[in-house]
Structure 1
Amino acid sequence: MSASGRPSFLGRTAITGVGYTPLSRDSGMSVHALAVMACRAALDDCGLKPSDVDGIVTYSLLNDSVYGQAVAAGLGSSELTYAVDLSLGGQAPCAAVTMAAMAVDSGMARNVLVFRALNGRSGKRIGSTSYESLTSEFRYPIGFNAYPQYIAIWARRFMIETGFSYEDLGHVVSVQRDYAALNERAMQRKPLSVEDYLATPFIVDPFRKADCTIEVDGACAVLVTSLDEARSHRQPPAVINGAAWTTPKGSGLDHADLFSWPDWSKNCHHYLRERLWKSARATPGDIDFAEIYDCFSMVVPMTLEGHGICPTGGAGEFISSGETRLGGSLPVNTHGGLLCEGYLHGMNTVNEAVLQIQGRGGARQVKKNDCCLVTSAAMMDGSALVLTKDEMQ
């Protein structure tokens, strides 16, 4: 902690290299091979060698990935001085980057890779996995055992409390399809009008198929280092200027915490936002664009309101009026989101934010890219970052 009370790694660490594998429904590769490929691509992107890596952070859920140490060995890295394998899901990407940045700032490591790899379509599928928890014996006999069902309950409560409509939800999906059409990596690039969206059947009210993320095989990675070190890399730094995590009261007892959460119309970002903005020395009005974790479409408006970007009940009009489009006041999910690019468990949300800060968004590049909000988590515990351009660039 600095003398000002701000965590010392903020403003002193950065992300440079970004790496991906191709995304597919059947990679034909092991998860280890995918992870090594993505990490090697991130190193190539910033001009480093595997021997430059001395830290690695990753996360997995229900044993669907590989240990970071094994990936470092596959790369041919030298001795690791920092290694973390988190047992977390969608709340992990921003938190994993934060941990890497803290390790760099404390001197535990110099260059830390953060990656997520999984055969999420051809291998263990998160969307079809049963989650054991304290209430499983009561939920499973009545068929209440799939993640879309859990999030649908939060989504319906949000609609009831705020007036957010099915049409508004259709705009979330339609906007992200338009972004995805500009993204060569996106698995779903077909445009979808709000009218066509509304004509499709429900999977679980209020969600239709287009409201749910696409399971894919693949991996992505980023390289975290000090800001001083980053300035010598091939790509410009995306400076880590704000970070926060929350496990709100009532989280952690059940898979979806439905029986202990105080207000289903708010997600975790409502609880961490004050600390995030304070850590970044910023306000919601300073954000030029946002990359929001969206395993389901309703997470987008809930997170916009959670962070105070929109007032309570204001996200529907904000999105349907075009403000989240490429020419709007706050472009959101410029890669098409997890809904369209594919479900790399949210890590690709961080990657896209870095590319946009670096000005490498191609046809989908935002015009103003000085400051970005990045989020990780759907409803319960979660994390967020504020990334900015380097003032010296």
Structure 2
Amino acid sequence: MSTSDRTFRAAAAVVGAANTPFLKRGTATSSALKLALRAILDAADDAGVDAHDIDGFVSYANDDNEGLAVGAALGVKEIRWSSMVWGGGGGGVAAAVNTAAAAIASGQAETVCVYRGLSEADAGRQSYSKGHIGPLYGAHGVFAPAQICALRTQRLLEVDGVPREALAALVAAAYHHAQNNPDAVAYGRPLSAEVYADSRIISEPLRLYDCSRENDAAGAVIVTSADRARGLRQKPAYVLSGVQGSGPAWTESVENENPYSSAGFHPALVARLWEGAGVEPGEVDVTQVYENFSGPAVASLIDVGLVPPGAEAGRVMQLENLIAPHGALPLNTAGGNIAEGFVHGFGLIVEAVRQIRGTSPNPVPGADVSLLLGGPMAPLVSATLFGSEATV
């Protein structure tokens, strides 16, 4: 089947996008539901659609507020689609967009909202990891995602030969971009190489600034059909391709997994991503990569073919190469989880869409193909390729 025969490609588009302000975790006076509702109303207004016409809801990362309850609180006319992506954490961030697009493409719904809200007063810490850090880990003193990802990052550095500087460059790019984003938590707080290098170890080799933030906030995007999208307020970001899944080895004995330092984007999944969109890695204009920690983010870029493996990764992972507007591989252009704010990566969706619109705080000129990578080193990984009208 040729890409032109695929009904999924460019059948749906994101037409509205919004984040609430990123607050320090535990400080929100609103519940996660109220934050999510605010984001949804803002996203609907951004798109120029009536929120009462939303007929589908998708979330991920064990969001406590299911779509039926969200729809009832909004007073929608009918709920035709409601789903939750399994897999914990940010692995589902792109998968949620893909699910919404699939609902649109198959005729199950007409206007689907993808949302995620976090308020520590509601959900506590690490709500996303329930069921994913089992007794095998606990018996050996491993209780946090940072520890799991540190083990894999250490292997990435020691055995694969990826230089430590590649991680530092990714973090530096995030902070660089945040200085042009007034909504970023790190806005006005630049990070020097010296401060980064001297920061405390969280779980070796990951230092403080290698780790994502945790915030109370919410985000939402509105997805509808390509035909309808062209008549709405905003420039559509078409969903060209979407993939999600994992290899066969994510089990209780996952630490025996091979290849251990992969982010989880196995070759068959990566091939489907590019083939489904009809583009190649070199045609990507801008990337938003989920960085729970810097090491797994670098592994994701290697997995999907944007960065070479091993020592050669250092040749591409240079600060000047990773920043907008003129870098060859601009990434996390609003600051990402590390420097903008963290709601299980939802801000990465919003920024991927803004790049297609040309409204990013750090726009990449003429961006037609915008890549979103969710995960990584998680039970589930996912990716979405967005395209402009020129790609359809």
Q: Deviations over 1:66-102 (max 9, x none)?
A: 1111111222211111111334321112111111111
In structure 2, the residue matched to 1:288 is 285
The answer as to 2:39 corresponding to 1:43 is no
Residue from 281, 302, 307 that aligns with 1:305: 302
The residue correspondences of 1:203-218 to structure 2 (distance < 5 A) are 203-218=202-217
Preserved contact between residue 121 and residue 217 of structure 1 (Cα < 8 Å): no
Aligned partner of 1:31 in structure 2 is 32
Moved more, 283-292 or 266-275: 266-275
**1:70 and 1:131 mapped to 2: Cα distance?**
21
Runs of 4+ in 1 over 6 A off after TM superposition: none
Cα separation, 2, equivalents of 1:135 and 1:56: 30
Q: Does 2:181 align with 1:150?
A: no
Residue 104 of structure 1 aligns to a residue whose secondary structure is helix
Distance 1:195 1:109 in 2: 51
| Residue number in structure 2 paired with 1:265 | 261
User: Residues 167 and 194 of structure 1 are in contact (CA less than 8 Å); yes or no, is this contact kept in structure 2?
Assistant: no
Deviation at 1:243, TM superposition (A): 1.2
CA distance in 2, matches of 1:179, 1:273: 27
- Say whether residues 1:58 and 2:54 are aligned partners: no
The answer to whether 1:108 aligns with 2:108 is yes
Matched, 1:174 2:175: no
Is the alpha carbon distance of 1:16 and 1:156 closer, same or farther for their aligned partners in structure 2, counting shifts above 3 Å? same
254, 268, 272: which one aligns with 1:275: 272
Amino acid at match of 2:162: F
Distance 1:208 1:6, change over 3 A: farther
The structural deviation recorded for 1:113 is: 0.4
Is the 1:121–1:215 contact (alpha carbons within 8 Å) kept by the matching residues of 2? no
Amino acid paired to 1:112: V
- The answer to whether the 8 A contact 2:355-2:364 is kept is yes
Unaligned stretches of 5+ in structure 1?
none
Give per-residue Cα distances to partners, 1:201-220, cap 9 Å, x unaligned: 21111111111111000100
Distance of 2:213 and 2:121 partners within structure 1: 9
Report the AA paired with residue 108 of structure 1: Q
Deviation readout 1:262-302 (Å, 9 max, x if unpaired)? 11121212432111001111110110110101111112221
- Paired residue for 1:15? 14
The 5 A counterparts of 1:343-382 are 343-362=342-361, 364-380=362-378, 381-382=380-381
Normalising by structure 2, we get a TM-score of 0.92
Query: Is residue 99 from structure 1 mapped to residue 95 from structure 2 by the alignment?
Result: no
Cα offset, 1:131, TM superposition: 4.7
Relative to 1, partners in 2 of residues 1:277 and 1:360: Cα closer, same or farther, differing over 3 Å?
Answer: same
C-alpha RMSD over aligned residues? 2.1
Q: Which amino acid aligns with 1:209?
A: L
The two structures have a TM-score, normalised by structure 1, of 0.92
Per-residue displacement from partner, 1:154-181 (whole Å, max 9, x unpaired)? 1011112332233332222111101111
Contact 1:17–1:223 (CA<8 Å) still a contact in 2? Answer: yes
Structure 1 residues 392 and 96, CA gap change in structure 2 (3 angstroms): closer
Equivalence map 1:198-237=2 (5 Å): 198-237=197-236
Percent identical among aligned pairs is 32
